[in-house]
Structure 1
Amino acid sequence: MKNELSNDKKSLIDVYFSADVETDGPIPGPYSMLSFALVFAGQFDGQEFHRPKNLTETFYCELKPISDHYESEALRVNKLDREMLMRKGEDPIKAMTSASRWVKKIANGNRPILVAYPLSFDWTWLYWYFVQFSSEGSPFNHSGCFDLKTAYAVKAGVPIAAAGRSNLENWLRSQLTHSHNALNDAKEQAEIFANLIEWEGRAVEFSKNPAR
C-alpha cells in the first residue's frame, strides 16, 4: 500500500520539455518536419516548481523529408539544406522512437508535458510525427501540453492578441536570441517558461503595489 501511494504521488509530477520545430511548410503530412529539439525545462509537483540548473539535457535531430512538397519561404527562414537532408537526414521512424524513449527516460515515471510558445504549431507537428512514426507513440499522450502564450495572457491580464513573444516584459525574456535553430530556440523558450512560471503575475504585483 505504501508503494502504491508513492507511485500515485509520483505520477502527479509534471516534467516539462520545451519544444521547437523547423519545417518546410505549414502542416505535417503534405510537408515535412526538418528538425526538432526537446529541452528539459523543469518540473512541478503541485506546490513547487524546480527549474533546471542548466539546459544541458537536450534532444536534437535533423530529419529526412517525407514528401516532395515544400515552401521556399520556410527554407529561407530556417536556413536548413533540404537537399542535404534528403541524403543524410535521420529516418523519422528511428528519430521519433529515440525521442520518445529519451523523454520517458528524463521523466523517470512522471508525466511528460510539452511546452511551446505558441503551442499549436509545434504540438501539431510533434504529435503527428510521434503517432505516425514512433514505435512507442507519443510520450506526451494526446494532451500532455502547456501553452506559454495562454499562460502569459492570463498572468499579464491581456488578450491573446497581445500575448505574443514580442510583448514579453524584459525580465521574462531569455538571454538567448531567437535564431530559428530548433535547439537554440527550445533553450530560449525553456528560460522564458521558467521565468513565466515563477512570475506571480501582473494582478498580484498590482495588489502588492497599488499606487504604481
Structure 2
Amino acid sequence: MSAPHGSRRKARPSLYISVDIEADGPIPGPYSMLSFGAAVAGRHEPDGTYLPYDPQERTFYRELRPIGEDFVPEALAVSGLDRARLVREGAEPATALAEFTAWVREVATGAQPVMAGYPASYDWTFLYWYLLRFTGESPFGHSGCLDLKSLYATKANVPLRAVAKGTMPRQLLSTRRHTHHALDDAIEQADLCNNLLAWEP
C-alpha cells in the first residue's frame, strides 16, 4: 500500500565529504588504519542544485596508533608513514574517531553527510569498520557512501573496470598532486568529486 500523498519524508541535502585513508594492509582488523584525512567537497540539494566548496576550508586529519602487530611492507611503503613512531605517538583510535564523528556532524549541520571516495570500497571498509569498532556508530549511517569511480562510469557510459584516472577527460582531474598523504589526497579527491558532479558529458 502506497503512502498517502504528502506523508513521505522530505529529502534532505547531502553533504559530500571526501575521505582518504592510509593503512598497513588490505583489510581492517588484522591490519591497521594509520591515518585518515577528510575534506568537505560540496552540498547537493534535493532539487539537484550542487554547490561546490573550497575543499581546503574544512578539513580533518589524524594519524593513529596501530591496533595490531601485523602489517604488509608494500602497503606501508605507499604512505611512507613510520609505523614505529605511530606506535608511540599515534592518536588512540577511539579518541580520533569520536573527534571525527563530532566534526562530521558539525560540518553537516542541516544536511546528511555522505563519504566520497575513489574508489570508495577500500577507504569505506576501513573507515566504517573503525567507526563501529571504536565508537559504536557511523555518522554516515551504513550506506552513506558515494563511489566516484562508479559515478564516472555511469556518466561516461563505460564499463567500471575500464575506468582509470588516466582515461578521464583532463578537466575532471584535480590540478593538485597525489602525494599519498591522506589529507592531501582527500582534498585532491574533493576536486574530482566537484568536477564529476558538475560534468555533463
TM over 0.5: yes
SS of residue matched to 1:177: coil
* Higher-helix-fraction structure: 1
8 Å Cα contact 1:113/1:146 also seen in 2: yes
1:70-124 Cα deviation digits (max 9, x unpaired): 0111111110000000000000000000000100000003100000000100000
d(CA) in 2 for partners of 1:67 and 1:104?
Answer: 29
Aligned length, in residue pairs: 193
User: Equivalent residue for 2:181?
Assistant: 181
Taking structure 1 as the reference length, the TM-score comes to: 0.88
8 Å Cα contact 1:17/1:42 also seen in 2: yes
Structure 2 unaligned spans of 5+: 1-5
User: Equivalent residue for 1:207?
Assistant: none
8 Å Cα contact 1:117/1:165 also seen in 2: no
Shift of 1:54: 4.8
Q: How does 1:93-172 map onto structure 2 within 5 Å?
A: 93-134=94-135, 137-172=137-172
d(CA) in 2 for partners of 1:67 and 1:54?
Answer: 33
d(CA) in 1 for partners of 2:195 and 2:177?
Answer: 15
d(CA) in 1 for partners of 2:127 and 2:159?
Answer: 27
Shift of 1:55: 2.1
8 Å Cα contact 2:39/2:59 also seen in 1: yes
d(CA) in 1 for partners of 2:62 and 2:165?
Answer: 25
User: Equivalent residue for 1:51?
Assistant: 52
d(CA) in 1 for partners of 2:21 and 2:132?
Answer: 16
Shift of 1:53: 3.6
d(CA) in 1 for partners of 2:99 and 2:149?
Answer: 28
User: Equivalent residue for 1:79?
Assistant: 80
d(CA) in 2 for partners of 1:174 and 1:63?
Answer: 27
Q: CA RMSD in A?
A: 1.4
d(CA) in 2 for partners of 1:175 and 1:39?
Answer: 16
d(CA) in 2 for partners of 1:68 and 1:37?
Answer: 23
Q: More displaced, 137-146 or 52-61?
A: 52-61
8 Å Cα contact 1:39/1:55 also seen in 2: yes
Q: Answer yes or no: is 1:29 the counterpart of 2:29.
A: yes
8 Å Cα contact 2:117/2:147 also seen in 1: yes
1:145-183 Cα deviation digits (max 9, x unpaired): 101000100111110111122222100000111111000
SS of residue matched to 1:83: helix
Report which structure shows greater RCO (CA 8 Å, sep ≥6): 2
8 Å Cα contact 2:39/2:58 also seen in 1: yes
Taking structure 2 as the reference length, the TM-score comes to: 0.92
Q: More displaced, 82-91 or 162-171?
A: 162-171
d(CA) in 2 for partners of 1:120 and 1:76?
Answer: 21
With over 3 angstroms needed to count, the CA separation of the structure-2 counterparts of 1:124 and 1:54, relative to structure 1, is closer
d(CA) in 1 for partners of 2:107 and 2:55?
Answer: 14
